[in-house]
């Protein structure tokens, strides 16, 4: 009896949410220039949603059980990207900064709540810099974690915050609250609902091209030679995530010298649909031969107001051959008026820290949408023909 009641309530809840989703999809399907009529209509509709007890905040399709959800959490120039599969398995790539009264951990937990999960199955630490591993102890204190995946031991002993982050990780491992998994290029990760291939780890990269890739990369001719990075950055644990027809690339802060090994003389990666911009859009990553090789449809830059979005690196992304849109977590002060995208594509503008996020919703056929929690608008990207 109880079960029956719950199932009726669930159905009711689902249909109300679906109706709300449809309305929101119609309202916010396309980012378009607001007219007084549109603004008035959106305002009145929001009032209706509010009076019906429904939130108008949240991506239009978050209740579609076939989708992969990706939350780009704003950690002010670090990384924290949460993937939640249709099976509700979760992968968090990096944990943001330490300190700030647990600000970054709180924001990650808020994203997890929106995604309907109460545990993070896998936390992948790309490398041991403070803006990537720093938030792990605060996160572990707030939400259960299944397994932490890393590239192997920290090798950078000259940077105090990195040594502290590494030590804090060792202390957490000693509590045996979660498992540790160290991976190498070519490995897959045991996550249900998405396919993951390790591209780079601890300074090594895949030796053979991925299936379908391997074509000659014309932009390698006369390419610059980049200095070999001496920090944890070049050890970044990078992954290709495949969901149906969609290919998503995250290489952490992998530097240009390593990018060249991946795309020159032949492109081992192939074309990418969603590129999580390496290194917050700083110039030590994101070389021209690399961007020409992966040619993303959409790029998302996890920069802060004062960190990332270097004009030269931004230009290379913006001019890459197949790019439809670049999204940014912040307006980049370094970029100024000439090197930032239009405000609709930015989650946080100049002003007090609001912690707005971007949420991607992806379907197995290769289509996806991007929701900006600041504007409450979504933009649809139909599947590639």
Alpha carbon distances (Å) from 70 to 110, 205, 228, 381: 13, 25, 32, 15
DSSP-derived 3-state class of residue 81: strand
Q: Considering beta carbons, is residue 121 or 253 the nearer one to Zn ion? A: 253
Minimum CB–partner distance for residue 376 and Zn ion (Å): 29
Report CA dihedral (14, 15, 19, 21) to the nearest 10 degrees.
20
Q: Which is nearer to Zn ion, 114 or 280 (CB)?
A: 280
| Nearer to Zn ion (CB atom), residue 74 or residue 253 | 253
Size of site (CB under 5 A) for Zn ion: 2
User: 105-164: which residues touch Zn ion (CB under 5 A)?
Assistant: 131
* 104, 106, 232, 253: residue in contact with Zn ion (rule CB under 5 A): 253
- Nearest Cα neighbor of 95 from 85, 355, 84, 106 is 106
Instruction: Report in angstroms how near the CB of residue 279 gets to Zn ion at its nearest.
Output: 6
Sketch the per residue contact string, 193 through 232, with Zn ion: x for CB under 5 A, - otherwise. Answer: ----------------------------------------
Of the candidate spans 13-21, 45-53, 252-260, 358-366, the one that interacts with Zn ion by CB under 5 A turns out to be 252-260
The distance of closest approach from Cβ of residue 130 to Zn ion in the complex, given in angstroms and rounded to an integer, is 9
What residues contact 361, with CB distance under 8 A and at least 6 apart? 59, 60, 61, 62, 64, 67, 68, 69, 70, 368, 369, 371
Instruction: Report how far residue 41's alpha carbon sits from residue 238's, in angstroms, rounded to the nearest whole number.
Output: 44
Smaller CB separation from Zn ion, 86 or 308: 308
Q: For residue 20, give every residue at least 6 positions away whose Cβ sits within 8 Å of its Cβ, in sequence order, or none.
A: 49, 52, 54
User: Tokens representing 377?
Assistant: 């608008």
Min dist. Cβ of residue 250 to Zn ion (A): 12
- Going across the sheet that includes 204-205, the strands are 204-205, 195-201, 238-243, 246-250, 274-276, 298-301, 325-330, 346-348
Phi, psi at 353, each rounded to 5°: -65, 115
Question: Among the candidate windows 24-32, 115-123, 249-257, 311-319, which touches Zn ion by CB under 5 A?
Answer: 249-257
Is 250 a binding residue for Zn ion by CB under 5 A? The answer is: no
Closest separation in Å from C-beta 127 to Zn ion: 8
Give φ, ψ of 305 to 5 degrees. -60, -40
Cβ proximity to Zn ion, 202 vs 253, nearer residue: 253
User: Considering the complex, what minimum distance in angstroms separates the CB of residue 7 from Zn ion?
Assistant: 46
Cβ proximity to Zn ion: between 220 and 347 the closer is: 347
Smallest distance from the beta carbon of 302 to Zn ion, in angstroms? 8
Residues forming contacts to Zn ion in the complex (CB under 5 A) are 131, 253
């Amino acid at each position: 009896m109880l079960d029956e009641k719950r199932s009726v309530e669930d159905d009711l809840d689902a249909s109300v949410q679906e109706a709300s989703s449809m309305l929101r999809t119609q309202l916010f399907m396309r980012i378009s220039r607001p007219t007084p009529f549109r603004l008035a209509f959106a305002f009145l509709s929001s009032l209706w949603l509010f009076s019906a007890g429904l939130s108008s905040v949240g991506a239009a399709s978050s209740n579609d059980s076939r989708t992969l959800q990706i939350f780009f959490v704003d950690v002010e120039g670090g990384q924290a990207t949460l993937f939640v599969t249709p099976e509700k398995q979760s992968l968090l790539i990096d944990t943001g900064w330490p300190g700030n009264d647990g600000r970054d951990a709180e924001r990650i937990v808020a994203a997890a709540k929106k995604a309907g999960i109460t545990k993070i199955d896998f936390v992948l630490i790309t490398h041991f810099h403070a803006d990537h591993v720093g938030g792990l102890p605060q996160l572990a204190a707030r939400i259960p974690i299944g397994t932490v995946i890393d590239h192997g031991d920290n090798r950078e002993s000259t940077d105090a915050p990195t040594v502290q982050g590494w030590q804090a990780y060792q202390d957490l491992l000693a509590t045996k609250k979660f498992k540790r998994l160290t991976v190498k290029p070519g490995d897959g990760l045991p996550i249900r609902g998405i396919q993951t291939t390790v591209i780079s780890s601890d300074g090594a990269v895949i030796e053979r091209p991925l299936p379908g890739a391997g074509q000659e990369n014309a932009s390698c001719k006369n390419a610059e030679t980049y200095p070999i990075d001496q920090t944890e950055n070049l050890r970044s644990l990078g992954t290709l995530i495949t969901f149906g027809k969609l290919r998503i690339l995250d290489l952490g802060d992998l530097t240009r010298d390593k990018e060249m090994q991946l795309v020159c003389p032949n492109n081992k990666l192939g074309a990418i649909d969603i590129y999580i911009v390496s290194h917050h859009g700083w110039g030590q990553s994101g070389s021209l031969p690399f961007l020409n090789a992966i040619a993303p449809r959409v790029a998302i830059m996890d920069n802060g107001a004062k960190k990332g979005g270097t004009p030269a690196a931004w230009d290379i992304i913006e001019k890459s051959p197949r790019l439809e849109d670049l999204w940014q977590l912040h307006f980049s002060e370094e970029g100024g008026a000439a090197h930032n995208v239009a405000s609709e594509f930015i989650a946080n503008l100049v002003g007090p820290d609001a912690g707005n996020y971007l949420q991607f919703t992806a379907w197995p056929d290769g289509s996806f949408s991007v929701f900006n929690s600041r504007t409450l608008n979504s933009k649809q990207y139909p599947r590639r023909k």
